Structure 1
Amino acid sequence: MTRRDIAFDAEGVTLRGWFYPAEGTSGRRPTVVMAHGFSAVKEMYLDAFAEVFAAAGLNALVFDNRNFGASDGEPRQEIDPWQQVRDYRHAITYAGTLDDVDSTRIGVWGSSYSGGHVLVVGAIDRRVKAVVAQVPLVSGSANVAELVRADFRASFREQFDADRAARFAGDPPAMVPVVAEDPLAPSALPTPDAWAWFTETGKTRATAWRNEVTLRTVEMLGEYEPGAYIGRISPTPLLMIVAREDHLTPAHLAIDAYEHARQPKKLVILPSGHFDAYTSGFTGASGPARDWFVEHLARA
């Protein structure tokens, strides 16, 4: 599999990643634009998905979100979901400048947090001709309500307010771990499977991954409602891939959101948990995504 390093400007910030050319073809081809979820970097299995797409005759453009991995951006380790949505759109624009990309046949793929982003991008950017949202976040507020005990939430609010005051006074942003071994300890993603996947994958595939984000990142997570856009994606085709045992971005929230999407749409339910989509359930996740893009981008 031949891939090349890429870098492109996102209104003053350089984003970096990989371009996988479609295999067995020449000329301008359909292209899937891809970025990772909450704090994750491209080495955390995005290469595996891109290889599946390329083998099916699709280009794949993979990039690290700003402030993470190989991409530039400050403050480091901060996730502004709306900025990440805008960066997907910058990546689409960049893809359209490449000689081997057919700019009229662009799809977007996202997973977890970026699974929410592609719902928004698919709704507001008509350059997008197909959307795949894998184990997506659909409601920041509902997700926080599922993951954070009610008696912990007042403490979080106090921390957010104190951090805002400190930043106003010129202090650097406060930081919080992405995951913690103790699910009751402060962290952005307080589930045992999140701890296991991030720490193991960070050791084996992505040694540059850092187990921290700004505290403001968690505040912005709770404010983000990508599912509100889902009814506007049509007539762009939407595939949603949900994990039945997902308790990080709970399956019932995603399925409820899916019911508000209009045709054409399809729902695939994996018999597994959130992170299995990257590992033991990879074939079940990547195969339907590949087929969706081939079907809808080939005839776009």
Structure 2
Amino acid sequence: MHIKPIFIPVQSFHIQADLYTQNLKSPYIIMAHGLGAEKSCSLEQYIQFYLELGYNICCFDHRGFGQSTGKYKYLVDQKSQLQDWQAVIHYLKKEFQLTEQDLILWGYSFSGGHVLTLASQQRYHAVIANFPHVDGFASLLDYPKRYLLPATCLALADLLYSLFGKTKFMKVVSKNRFAVLSGKDCYEGFYSLIDQSQHWENRVPARIVLTIPFYRPIRVGHKIQTPTLIVGAKHDSLIPISKTRKMAKQSSAITYVEKKCGHFDLFHPSFLNGIQAWHHDFLKKIPYKNK
């Protein structure tokens, strides 16, 4: 197996990715983490799992995260992140003479919303969306009411600051729940993904608060023709499980499974093996024509 760090151009920036190639006759899995996280935040458990199954992998950080560059550090923006995904897809297609049918898109949480959105636009070999962001407006309704106005004011201030090239940050998670991710389990859950030796900045530009309610992949679910696995978390504190279930019913191409767990349990030993088994069972049912 060959592991190669690569830098993929997107606009005037570049996306840093780790490319694992071992079998040119196997599909390529493209992976990225969720809101505020980097590929170093526990994704290696899934990378190793897929490598053992014989897949090639391209795991990347969205612009502004890790070694990926961007106009603003740690900016979470669905439009630019979707552009990042498209840039990685274009790179792999060109570099290895692939088509969309050679690619598997893998996302979690916010990036789970990205892969569902991309699947509504183009048919890929497969898509796996773990505890995906499906309806930002529904998630907003679960946000602590006492923090709605302060969060909105902070986001508006960040937009004003951006006119001068500056940023007002907001915590990704917080013990008192005044953060972008405000579920009761989010502070401990997010930090459980981070190794003690790892440096991670618990902040993102606050403007995301104004845009995330309008990011609603559930509105385009009916367009999905790619074989898609959606994994839901019954006790998800960020994505209402009723909306995840509704999303899964939007297309006959979607397979839905659900775990009695929370939003961050995708990476925890009690649930990891079972979820990975679902991934394996799903993928092995999709015929792949070797190149």
* TM-score normalized with structure 1 length: 0.88
Could you tell me which of 140, 161, 168 is aligned with 1:144? Answer: 140
Structure 1 window deviating more from structure 2 (74-83 vs 195-204): it is 195-204
Structure 1 counterpart of 2:30, which letter?
Answer: V
1:172 to 150, 166, 177: 166
Partner Cα distance (1:9, 1:210) in 2: 24
Are positions 1:161 and 2:156 aligned together? yes
- The within-5 A match list for 1:246-261 is 246-260=236-250
Rounded Cα–Cα distance in structure 2 between residues aligned with 1:266 and 1:77: 33
* CA deviation profile, 1:158-199 (whole Å, cap 9, x unmatched): 33333333433x26121111111122xx21111242211323
Question: Deviation per CA, 1:119-140, whole angstroms, max 9, x where unpaired?
Answer: 10111133x2211110011011
Structure 1 residues 31, 121: closer, same or farther in 2, change over 3 A?
A: same
Q: Distance in 2 between matches of 1:45 and 1:3?
A: 18
| Correspondent of 1:274 among 263, 268, 289 | 263
Residues in 2 aligned to 1:30 and 1:77: alpha-carbon distance in whole angstroms: 30
Shift in alpha-carbon separation, 1:243–1:8, aligned structure 2, 3 A: same
Distance verdict in 2 for CA 1:162–1:8, change over 3 Å: closer
2:110 pairs with 1:75: no
**What's the CA shift for 1:92?**
1.0
Shift of 1:298: 1.9
Q: More displaced, 133-142 or 1-10?
A: 1-10
Instruction: Give the partner amino acid of 1:271.
Output: K
1:217 corresponds to = 208
Instruction: After superposition, give the CA deviation of every residue in 1:253-275 in whole Å (9 maximum; x if it has no partner).
Output: 21122122x11221111121111
Partner of 1:95: 92
Q: Residue type of the partner of 2:194?
A: G
- 1:20–1:50 contact (8 Å) kept in structure 2: no
Distance 1:49 1:31, change over 3 A: same
Kindly indicate whether residue 114 of structure 2 is the aligned counterpart of residue 122 of structure 1.
Answer: no
Deviation readout 1:1-34 (Å, 9 max, x if unpaired):
7532222112321111211224xxx434211111
Of residues 179, 188, 191, the one that matches 2:183 is 191
Pairwise CA distance, 1:249: 1.9
Give distance in 2, aligned partners of 1:200 and 1:264: 33
Cα distance change on mapping 1:221 and 1:108 into 2, 3 Å:
same
Identity rate, percent: 25
Distance 1:136 1:273 in 2: 12
- Map residues 18-97 of structure 1 onto 2, 5 A cutoff: 18-22=18-22, 26-97=23-94
* TM-score of the pair, normalised by structure 2: 0.91
Distance, in Å, in 2 between the alignment partners of 1:118 and 1:204 is 30
Give the letter aligned to residue 131 of structure 1: V
CA RMSD of aligned residues (A): 2.1
Could you tell me whether the CA contact under 8 Å between 1:175 and 1:215 is conserved in 2?
yes
Q: Which amino acid aligns with 1:213?
A: V
1:239 paired with 2:229, answer: yes
| Contact 1:123 1:230 (8 Å CA) reproduced | yes
